[in-house]
Amino acid sequence: MTDSTVKVLALSGSLRKGSLNTALLRAASEIAPAGVTVELYDLAPIPMYNDDVRIAGYPPEVQDFRAKIAAADALLFASPEYNYSVSGVLKNAIDWASRAPNMPFDGKTGAVLGASAGALGTARSQRDLRWIMSGLNVYMVNLPHVYVGGAAQKFDAAGKLTDQATADFIKQLLENLRDLTLKLRR
């Protein structure tokens, strides 16, 4: 990292076209504060993890994903909560990227947010993702917690975020991610 711009790679744990979590990441890219760029990455092409395949050589889709993580300064995760934890889509991608050699998560900064129709706004999923990232040496932003409950009412028909309080929390989260990334850069 040679300048003060922080390049954030945004990963959604949902493949659904109308995903509220992907919509949150699009909102983050639109309201990113000065010094932050947010690039959304589509996890759909990543195959199911198979260690026999990994040993034979990473598939091109996984090589691309690992390279994107390595090139990013920071990571932003949004995932639905399935069965009280992170989605299989996101966990599968993390499992691929976290293997040797040159594990690209090591030393990155990260932040997490999430949207759900329910009241808890992915709180348990976020807790588990923080735990997973601790094992990969990712320095996670602690605050603010961005749990977007009742999320369907906070987006318009086109998937644009309409709730100003949520936008403010996302912007604060990205500012804190930027600041932590720059602090660790020194």
CATH 3.40.50.360 matches 6-185: yes
| pLDDT one-digit tens code per residue, 54-67 | 999 999 999 999 99
Residue 125 has pLDDT above 50, yes or no: yes
| Each residue's pLDDT tens digit, 54-113 | 999 999 999 999 999 999 999 999 999 999 999 999 999 999 999 988 999 999 999 999
Give yes or no for residue 120 having a pLDDT over 90: no
Report helix angle 20-31 to 164-185, nearest 10. 70
CA distances from 130 to 8, 127, 139 (A): 17, 5, 9
Distance CA 138, CA 108 (A): 5
pLDDT at residue number 101: 87
Per-residue confidence (pLDDT) for residue 13, from 0 to 100:
97
Q: What is the pLDDT of residue 4?
A: 83
Give the pLDDT confidence score for residue 29 in this predicted structure: 98
Domain ranges of the chain: 6-185
Under a CB-based contact definition with an 8 Å cutoff, are residues 6 and 38 in contact? no
Q: Above 80 in pLDDT, residue 3? A: no
pLDDT for res 1: 42
Half-sphere exposure of 95 (CA within 13 A, CB side): 15
Q: CB count, 10 Å around CB of 70?
A: 15
**pLDDT of 51 higher than 90:** yes
Return the pLDDT at 159.
92
Model confidence band, residue 118 (pLDDT cutoffs 50, 70, 90):
confident
Residue showing tokens 């990113």 = 32
Q: Average pLDDT over the chain, rounded to whole?
A: 95
pLDDT, average across residues 160-174: 97
Tell whether pTM > 0.75: yes
Contact by Cβ (8 Å): 126, 145? yes
Mean of pLDDT values over 16-31: 96
